[in-house]
């Protein structure tokens, strides 16, 4: 037999073995991704009070591990004092695994999923949304599960999840929208709504501090107006006045101050309107460059 024959046979054998090797490598990669997702979901389950998450460059994450004295930290995840850090080197693999797991959990959509299916959907969608909060499919799957059987504690957990995502993405519209859906459902069963509204107002303040000109956060605050009592309205006007004095260039706060008394005009007395205009005129005198305050004050005069 010629030498070329042996070369040809060897090439054919390699071509036959290559698909098997590639399939083994793909299976090993998928298994590694699933292991990462399992560790991630275990951390989220073990510490439900996590209130902040960050995605760090591998060098930053390594320095964090070196300085940490906590033995429970892993190679890619660090969770101490309800603060979670994830190495950015694994984000593509972790996202693929979370997306695949969530798709498998919702493979057979049902208006009333079983308890085990609902648990899987909530677990995988939570991990997926922390990695990518703009996936409306994941948000809708959570709405489906929560709508099936009302549970007050689960709805409060949703508020905690939204706050966690907003801690690193304060302008994410999908998260704010889901939060409003949760509050609307809580309002039908909760008695202490004023306390919840106060917490929401404080959250908006924190998000506005983290991200300037955060229209979505201030819009959420405007949406809360119908749930507020008259005293809360007056307190909010005072709080927004102090905010406007410190952030005179932030148009969102002035828009909020304008919308608030207009939407609840029946609850606002003449004294309330006088206080509102006096505060705006004070800001105009102190900060001549505040065109937003001047325009909104003139518009309010024209409307009233």
* Alpha-carbon gap, residue 181 to 183, rounded angstroms: 6
**Tokens, residue 95:** 């996202």
Other Cβ atoms closer than 10 A to 109: 8
* Alpha-carbon gap, residue 173 to 169, rounded angstroms: 9
pLDDT (tens place) for every residue of the chain, 304 residues total: 454 554 455 566 655 555 655 577 777 888 889 999 999 999 999 999 999 999 999 999 988 888 776 655 678 999 989 999 999 999 999 999 999 999 999 887 666 778 888 999 999 999 999 999 999 999 999 999 999 877 889 999 999 999 999 999 999 999 999 999 999 999 988 877 888 999 998 999 889 888 888 889 888 988 888 888 878 877 877 777 777 667 666 776 666 666 655 545 544 555 555 555 666 666 666 655 444 444 544 444 444 4
């Amino acid at each position: 037999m010629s030498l070329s024959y042996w070369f040809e046979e060897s090439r054919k054998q390699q071509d036959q073995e290559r698909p098997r090797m590639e399939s083994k490598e793909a299976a090993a990669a998928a298994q590694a991704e699933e292991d990462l997702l399992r560790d991630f979901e275990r951390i989220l389950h073990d510490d439900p009070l996590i209130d902040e998450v960050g995605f760090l460059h591998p060098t930053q994450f390594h320095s964090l591990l070196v300085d940490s004295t906590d033995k429970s930290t892993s190679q890619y995840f660090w969770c101490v004092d309800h603060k979670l850090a994830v190495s950015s080197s694994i984000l593509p693999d972790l996202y693929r695994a979370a997306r695949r797991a969530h798709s498998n959990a919702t493979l057979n959509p049902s208006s009333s999923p079983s308890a085990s299916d609902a648990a899987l959907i909530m677990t995988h969608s939570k991990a997926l949304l922390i990695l990518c909060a703009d996936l409306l499919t994941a948000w809708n799957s959570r709405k489906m599960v929560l709508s099936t059987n009302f549970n007050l504690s689960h709805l409060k957990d949703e508020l905690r999840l939204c706050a966690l995502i907003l801690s690193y993405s304060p302008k994410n519209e999908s998260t704010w929208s889901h939060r409003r859906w949760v509050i609307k459902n809580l309002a039908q069963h909760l008695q202490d709504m004023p306390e919840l509204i106060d917490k929401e107002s404080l959250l908006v303040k924190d998000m506005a501090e983290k991200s300037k000109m955060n229209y979505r956060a201030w819009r959420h605050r405007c949406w809360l107006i119908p749930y507020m009592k008259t005293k809360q309205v007056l307190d909010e006007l005072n709080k927004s006045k102090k905010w406007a004095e410190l952030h005179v260039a932030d148009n969102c706060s002035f828009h909020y101050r304008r919308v608030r008394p207009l939407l609840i005009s029946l609850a606002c007395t003449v004294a309330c309107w006088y206080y509102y205009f006096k505060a705006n005129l004070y800001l105009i005198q102190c900060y001549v460059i505040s065109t937003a305050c001047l325009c909104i004050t003139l518009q309010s005069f024209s409307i009233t």
